[in-house]
Chains A and B, each alone.
Chain A
């Protein structure tokens, strides 16, 4: 199954996707697609706050939960997405709920995304 958890959503600052139940699945894969980005107002020249020309970075961490209410990071891995395009990573041995948390680097920076969760049993 593929769930579109965020659809053309503009993210700013910290965020977390809605809880999604995956008790039936044994593996999952995130797809985070950056559609467009606005740099922080003080970044200047269209550069992201990370100094690159790819626009503001999006930092992403997979989270798990036993009940859909209380969450923790699944591991220490932090994914970084920047610039238009797709970023993907797998996750296994999760609890029965998944979400992704993260933040947009730079105060006032915005990133428009689609976030897919592909799961299979």
Chain B
């Protein structure tokens, strides 16, 4: 396209316009912004994920491990100690909340399609917390090897993991996921603070329908076998901020390439992790009905009988096509 303006001038003008907008200047979008969601004004299409069901709408036919991913909430971060904490942008953020059941996962998904191929970038500001525990039990001062000392709080060890992922399909039914999970604790509730990825594609309802896989309620739907998860990057301590009712927003920027069907990199606050060697295993068989699928999801999984929360202030999805 010849606009009569040099690329440099155009890029500088674009950067200046973005920098002048407080809502956008906190992001570093690729040239084309597909969506910009500030949850202070609604859910913007981020909704509960559910597995597939039969022609009668019989939700008993939904896979056990995909029927209770919980409805997202618009949260003011109302807490027992200070009342309303609020969000980074206004009062409300999107909250994904698990049940207080070990292994339970909450998932919020956004559904788009692709009008091209190339780089895709997900940016967000998010925070992870557990539900506060109230009582008179001295045992509540210790969990997962963390004892309350006025600084560290046992609730930090009660947070399991949060995950960012895609579900992408195109080019004749070739389907794959890119996945990045922050494993705050291992399954024994010990602090791990490690980014991990799954080496296998996510089990699907069709595989269950075909008798290939049957997972139980609370199974890790992204990759149920813990041995299929592998670390990337170095351990990273995030800002939980001591107690369950102080919310600090983290910047994440995750980039992938749908032309090459590869990860590129993940930035989390001041750390950029190369993900180009993180494998993206496709499904062996093609999928119908999903041409140009471009889904993004966030999930939160508890490793303890305590509600885990993922708060998302805002999300920006941009592409270079």
Contacts and interface: CB of A to CB of B under 8 A. Distances in A.
Interface of A: 1, 3-5, 7-8, 18-21, 23-24, 66-70, 96-97, 114
B246 interface: no
A23 B43 contact: no
A96 B78 contact: yes
Contacts of B76: 21, 23-24, 96
B134 interface: yes
Interface stretch (B91-99, B149-157, B257-265): B91-99
Contact of B74 (A18, A21, A66, A69): A21
Contact of B73 (A3, A7, A69, A70): A3
Given A24-B92, A67-B79, A70-B80, A8 B60 contact: yes
A69 B132 contact: yes
Contacts of B70: 18
| Interface of A, helix, strand, loop or mixed by DSSP | loop
Contacts of A70: 80, 134
B80 A1 contact: no
**CB-based closest 8 A-B pairs:** A3-B71, A67-B80, A23-B76, A21-B73, A8-B59, A21-B75, A96-B78, A24-B74
B291 interface: no
A18 B67 contact: no
Contacts of A8: 59-60, 62, 67
Given A20-B71, A66-B83, 15 more contacts: A1-B43, A7-B67, A8-B59, A8-B60, A19-B97, A21-B73, A21-B75, A23-B84, A24-B91, A66-B80, A67-B78, A68-B78, A70-B80, A96-B76, A114-B59
Nearest to A67: B80
7 contacts: A7-B67, A8-B62, A21-B73, A23-B92, A66-B78, A69-B80, A114-B59
| Interface of B, helix, strand, loop or mixed by DSSP | loop
Given A21-B74, A21-B76, A96-B76, A68 B131 contact: yes
A67 B266 CA distance: 34
A5 B80 CA distance: 23
A83 B70 CA distance: 26
Interface string B130-173: 01101000000000000000000000000000000000000000
Nearest to B68: A7
Contacts of A19: 97
A23 to B, nearest CB: 4
B186 interface: no
A110 B1 CA distance: 66
B202 interface: no
Contacts of B131: 68-69
A18 B99 contact: yes
B48 interface: yes
Nearest to A18: B99
Contacts of B95: 21
Nearest to B76: A23
Nearest to A9: B68
Given A18-B97, A70-B134, A7 B78 contact: no
B134 A23 contact: no
A39 B200 CA distance: 45
Interface string B20-55: 000000000000000000000001000010100000
Contacts of B62: 8
A8 B61 CA distance: 10
Contacts of B99: 18
